[in-house]
Structure 1
Amino acid sequence: MHRLFAELEPSVTVTEQNLADRVRYILRSNTFDVTELERLRREAVPSSGENAAAEDAAPQLAEQTANVDAAVNTPVVVDSNDDGTVAQELELEQMRSTLEEAIVETRSTLLENRPRLPRLALSKRNRAVVRALNPMLVTYLEASRDLCETDSILFGAALAVCRIIGAKLSTAVRATGQSSAIPAWGIRIEERIARARALIGRLICFRSGNTRPRIVRTVRMVFDGTNSDQKRLYKSLKRSIVSGTGPAPNQADMVAFWRSLWSEPVNHNEGSWTEVVASQCAGITPMDPVIITPDDVAEAVRRAPNWKSPGLDGLHHYWLKGFMVCHAVLA
């Protein structure tokens, strides 16, 4: 397949693995139907006016088609007997392509629309995929401009790992800090409105001549002001009456009062204890500036739980541990 492509498109430089990955992606994504694929295969056969040349090309084309099908159906294989490194059979080019697509997709997705990353089993295969993508992130992280972009790159890498190993991703919208639920104060107001409406309805029934015991009892409680609450009744009996009568302060007096508190400078007399504290602190050596190193980040991440509930970005500590090349950028 690669030799045939090189003859058809000599100006395009592509590796054998990358070409097989592209063919596999086209077939799996159903970009073309069977008829369209057959037409493309016929157009790809070099044209020749001689039947002999066509007969000679047929076995070669059949062999190339078989090679394409074999490359398409080649699974991602990781040697479970090694020390966690990725075996030669692991399709690094396909992983790099998946990583690129995931990062581009994450950059164009709003924070609250990111999919939920599942918890992965701590298997050798999953660790091998994470280690394989780890060095690929260096190029992206070096070009990162801020912490938000770094976080987007790491989330895209985590998304790529999940797609490579076939982990199930949830498409449900994640909850963010800005919830659409009614706040508590709104619920309290709605409850008060509901109680007021019920009370108004019973008062209207009583006014229209309804003297049922329940209606009469409600009206009596309303006019008593106790609402059948004995504790509230006793408090109302002990409450002192505050008179609201009297002249209200004029505007000039109010402005003068608050201006004396907020606008006019005041000289405060500090106590003698401030001088004692200042003399005791004079001999204290200032703390050196704090410099965060990649080792500090690695140590902090190492002690963090793998799958603790993430923040708004949806990125677990597991990914910060696996993608070790990000420690220097975070520091």
Structure 2
Amino acid sequence: MEAGAVLSRLWRQYIWRYKIDLLALAPVLVVVAAASASYAWILKFATDSIAAKDLDKIALVPAVAMGIVVIRAAGMWGQAIMTQGIALKILRDLQSAMFAKLMSVDFARFAREDVGRLVSRFTNDITIVGYALVRAAQTSLRDSLTVIGSIAMMFWLDWVLASVVIGVFALAARPLSAIAKRARKQTSIAQEQIGHVTALLGEIFGASRFVKTYSLERRETERADAAFEEQRRLGMQLAHNRARSQPLLEILGGLALAGILYLAGIRIAHNLMTIGDLIGMIAVGGRGDARRAFDQRLQHYAERSAGCRDAHLRPHR
């Protein structure tokens, strides 16, 4: 069964049954994303107030800033508690379903399995799956809301600069898609090599008596060294390919910043925007969570695009 089908089944049978909990979690994620995006508004408000020497507004800045920080902190606390609760419920259901299924098989099935491996599936493997599912869903929704809130804030501050930023980062979609497609292919080759190394080690260790009898230690060592070197070479190819995405995003971020500073200087000189608008725009792209959300959404889009092309081409191969 393919990974997509497995995830779809897990979602239908074990996650969506807690749709009430998920719907209750959604507003909390919205609050966290909105509070995160509002930091740019705080900086705009503070900068404009200082530039205008408005002491009444300046006096409000600390209270407003702390209010938003407290709201976001409360949202993050609620998000952590609710996410953990959903994950533990899913974990319990998965363990119960696995145990019930295992109890229905015959004795021969038990005889073929190591007891330690069975216990590990209940205590370790299923825990990883349960938490990964909930964390992935939460992160995807939270990052999407953060991106939407950040884009809305940028357009509210200045639509011209926002259009420039969106245009620059849109340029990253195609090269990131190519990087993701190449990484997918290299990962498949690397996994095949890991399988080859595993089979080779099993063959050598299983025939240790034969190796010792005919003094084949040097030959088997050379075979193992060659397999290890090939595994290293493929791993470095994959590392080089993956290392390209972050510098690409960094360069595009620099281009966006340069464009913002240039256009903002012109627009401020013509009284079309304020210095507070500029500080707010920089804050939207410079904050860690907003920048991370932008980068992850772009990389996710690139991987989805590469995956769609692979799925389209596979029937013709």
Is TM-score (shorter-chain normalized) higher than 0.5? no
Q: Indicate the structure whose relative CO is greater, using CA pairs within 8 Å and at least 6 residues apart.
A: 2
Between Structure 1 and Structure 2, the one with more helix by share is 2
Flag the structure with larger Rg: 1
Q: TM-score range by the shorter chain?
A: under 0.3
